[in-house]
Structure 1
Amino acid sequence: MLKAPLTASPAPRRALHGWDVGGAHLKIARLDAAGRVEVGQWPCPLWTGLAALDAALDAACTRWPDLPEGAHALTMSGEMVDAFPDRAAGVQALVAHLAARLRGPLRVYAGEGPAGRWCQPAQAGRRWADVASANWQATAAWVARTLPEALLIDVGSTTSDLIVLRAGRLVEAGASDAERLHSGALVYQGVVRTPLCALGPSLPVAGRETGLMNEFFATTADVYRLLGMLDPAHDQQPAADGGAKEVAGSRQRLARMVGRDAAELPAEAWQALAAAFRARQLERLTGPLDALVSAHGLPPQAPIVAAGCGAFLAQALAVARGRPLWRLAATGPQPWPAGAPPLAGEAAWASVAAPSLAVAQLALADEEN
């Protein structure tokens, strides 16, 4: 378990926990009765079944023994893993499972649509389409309270969310994953789990354009380990070959992608290939980003707000497009100078677990109003 530093925030009446149940990680933000904020993330390979969620929950209870007795606000994206027959069943299973494990009151986030932001666990099955993969809406609604005009870029381990805010509202780019994939607001590019063959078909290797193998030999975590950009604390998933998550192992996995062994070329060649993969991934994000900005007329002075364990890619996009840069902190967005070093260590956790923190802060604000 990893946690963010204690930070001042408005105090709930009791400990309030924001939950983001993803397909690969469980993220929890805790706002305690003294107004302090902590954020934790645990590996949770939900595709293996609900036992993975139980293991992550048990680890969270080791950190916070009183967690089940607190108040809880839940969002998710893990309903679509193939452990469930469909998304409706996934929403129902996750909500019911947590409702059975948690003793304090539980509310379920249902997006920013006209039917209302929250629903009770018993209503989640009927409103499953509002609940499913709505975690990005929570982050956007939280950011919009501070920055009514912005482009939120949340680059996670698996996916990237590109969300345009105009006049304090989320622009219409689709609510479901299918609609957002079509509009470009959801891009399946992340900095840990994305297979490198998804960035093909070819890249230069030692001066020659070389095809990439369509095999699960390496992931983007290998790229960002070699480039020194991925915080080891955020590198919680196994390597593609189950091997060591260090420089030598990452070089060997990159070498397999182009039919080589790492010993065949000097270290500089593998660094160059890693940089080429990074450039290709930025290209995969830049096209949809530019299209969304153009479609919705986002003003040039509107900032990019960076979130996620890949916030360093959002930082690069802000520099490339000449936009002001902000980052997410425990109490909301804060300016982040474009030349500042990438977020790392404790300072990054509020950004990494943004949806869990957002849903907790939204729940707290709604309780106070």
Structure 2
Amino acid sequence: MTAIIGWDIGGAHVKAARAENGRIVAVAQRACAPHLGLAHLETPILETLAELGPAEGHRVTMTAELSDAFEDRMRGVVSVAAIAAREIGADNILFYAGARGFVARANIVHEADAVASANWRASAELVAQHCGEALFIDIGSTTTDIVPIRIGRVAAQGAADAERLACGELAYAGFSRGAPQAYARLAPIGGQWTPLVNEAFASMADVRRVLGDLREGENPADLSPTADGRPKTVAASRARLARLVGRDGADLTDAQAHALAAHFARAQLRVIEDQIALLASRDAIAPDAPYIGAGAGRLLVQRLAQTQKRAYRDFADLIDASDELRIAAANCAPAAALALLTI
């Protein structure tokens, strides 16, 4: 038996997937917060390793270098690589450098630019092994990766985040994290357009709960604390959203609260749609290409596909695993892809 663990070490989550002989047998996800101190990254890695057990190989990708725990991204890559190597404690650890493949820790300093935030490409490479033409869309908790697949190859123009944002391949629009007022300047309340309060009163998780796309309580799609420390309930989410329009939760009717959440959801979705339009403007998407959805928000990808009259396929369908683990692997696509990709 050959066991490989793929790691996706982010600024909000540590995700990992264990593959044995090409089949996913375990998936783990934990919240992390390196900006509060590096112990908040080290501990989730250790706990995840204890859950998944030893393996013949470990493959690591990261986005945690973007955390303001680090002075810049390059220092972040070197630091996160050192933490991962120390906490995993294995000699057989490789770091994913995107189109350059895998590199040893000894080469991290020289390959830091390629290692930084390359997790999206691992997932896209796995999709390209199964689909000749596709648009791969991974809506995670914080961002959305939008990657064209052409003739069975990843056809991305950008590599680093700045390039990908500029050419339509990345949007800072996630399923549960981020501020609703980042996507809108006004909101409709009682037949009037209301300017928004630009404070950290609510998150997109509150929007999802009010709309019924996110169940109450803790779940893998929303591991972050609420903005006010109060419960993850529909009522508390309504109150948090109401503060964005200068009101209390009790000031809004059920219909008004739902309409407010739907307004924020539409505004955020337009950000993703605009990036897709940018890709379409350079003929990056084949006319008959299906949308392949991954991440905690892939339900939104399915809705996008329906709206834009595209076929839809779930990333989970590409994974050899039990039904439960296929779903978990689709939520942690880069980690699962790293565990499965051949070197």
* TM-score bin, normalised by smaller chain: over 0.9
Q: CA contact under 8 A between 2:45 and 2:88: conserved in structure 1?
A: no
Corresponding residue of 1:251: 238
Shift in Å, 1:37: 2.1
Q: Is the 8 A contact 1:196 1:216 kept in 2?
A: no
The corresponding residue for 1:195 is 179
Deviation at 1:296, TM superposition (A): 2.6
1:59-98 maps to which residues of 2 (within 5 A)? 59-64=47-52, 66-67=53-54, 70-98=56-84
1:359 and 2:343 correspond: no
**Aligned match of 1:299:** 286
Q: CA deviation at 1:299?
A: 2.1
Kindly state the Cα deviation for residue 62 of structure 1 after the two structures are TM-superposed: 4.0
Asked which structure has the greater RCO (Cα within 8 Å, sep 6+), the reply is 2
Name the residue aligned to 1:140: 124
> Is the CA contact 1:197–1:216 (under 8 Å) kept in the aligned structure 2?
no
Q: Which amino acid aligns with 1:20?
A: D
* Residue correspondence of structure 1 range 105-144 to structure 2 within 5 A: 105-112=92-99, 116-144=100-128
Please report how far the alpha carbon of residue 171 of structure 1 lies from its aligned counterpart in structure 2 after TM superposition. Answer: 1.9
* TM-fit CA distance, 1:300: 2.1
Task: Indicate if the aligned counterparts of 2:292 and 2:314 stay in contact, CA closer than 8 A.
Answer: yes
State the partner residue of 1:24.
12
Q: Does 1:51 align with 2:39?
A: yes
1:139-174 Cα distance to aligned partner (Å, 9 max, x none): 111100001211011111111111111112222421
**CA–CA separation in structure 2 for the residues paired with 1:266 and 1:345:** 38
In the alignment, the residues of structure 1 paired with residue 85 and residue 309 of structure 2 have an alpha-carbon distance, to the nearest angstrom, of 46
| Counterpart residue number, 1:153 | 137
| In structure 2, C-alpha distance between the alignment counterparts of 1:44 and 1:249, rounded to whole Å | 24
Deviation, 1:294, is: 2.7
The Cα offsets for residues 249-294 of structure 1, whole Å up to 9 and x where unpaired, read as 1000010000000111222210111111111111111111112023
Query: What is the one-letter code of the residue matched to 2:254?
Result: A
Unaligned 5+ segments in structure 2 are none
Cα distance 1:211–1:315, how it changes in 2: closer, same or farther (>3 A)?
same
Aligned partner of 1:178 among 162, 181, 201: 162
1:101 paired to 2:87: yes
Cα displacement (A) at 1:43: 0.1
Distance (Å, rounded) in 2 between the aligned partners of 1:154 and 1:70: 28
Identity %: 40
Say if 2:221 and 2:296, in contact at 8 Å, map to a contact too: yes
- Aligned equivalent of 2:308, options 315, 321, 324: 321
8 Å contact kept, 2:142–2:173: yes
Task: Identify unmatched segments of 5+ residues in structure 1.
Answer: 1-12, 334-343
> Quick check: 1:46–1:52 contact (8 Å CA) kept in 2?
yes
Q: CA deviation at 1:103?
A: 3.2
Alignment TM-score, normalising by the size of structure 2: 0.93
Take 1:90 and 1:299, find their aligned partners in 2: how far apart are those partners? 37
**Structure-2 residue corresponding to 1:337:** none
Map of 1:288 onto structure 2: 275
Structure 1 residue 184: Cα displacement: 2.0
Q: Which amino acid aligns with 2:60?
A: L
Q: What's the TM-score, normalizing by structure 1?
A: 0.87
Q: What is the Cα deviation at residue 209 of structure 1? A: 1.2
- Of 168, 173, 182, 2:152 maps to 168
Q: Which residue of 2 aligns with 1:6?
A: none
Output the CA distance in 2 between the equivalents of 1:348 and 1:227.
22
* Secondary structure of 2:281's aligned partner: helix
| 2:145 aligned counterpart, secondary structure | strand
SS at match of 2:130: coil
Moved more, 269-278 or 226-235: 226-235
- The offset of 1:330, in angstroms, is 7.0
Greater shift, 248-257 or 40-49, is seen at 40-49
Per the alignment, in what secondary structure is the counterpart of residue 165 of structure 1? strand
Judge conservation of contact 1:222–1:254 (CA < 8 Å) in 2: yes
Contact 2:3–2:20 (8 Å) recurs in 1: yes
| Separation (CA, whole Å) in 2 of partners of 1:245 and 1:351 | 24
* Contact kept in structure 2, 1:16 and 1:71, CA below 8 Å: yes
C-alpha offsets along residues 282-319 of structure 1, whole Å, 9 cap, x if unaligned?
Answer: 11111111120231342221000001101111111101
Report whether the alignment pairs 1:349 with 2:333. Answer: no
Q: 1:159 to 1:224 in 2, by over 3 A?
A: same
Q: CA RMSD in A?
A: 2.0
Report the secondary structure of 1:309's partner residue: coil
- Measured after TM superposition, the shift of residue 181 of structure 1 is 1.2
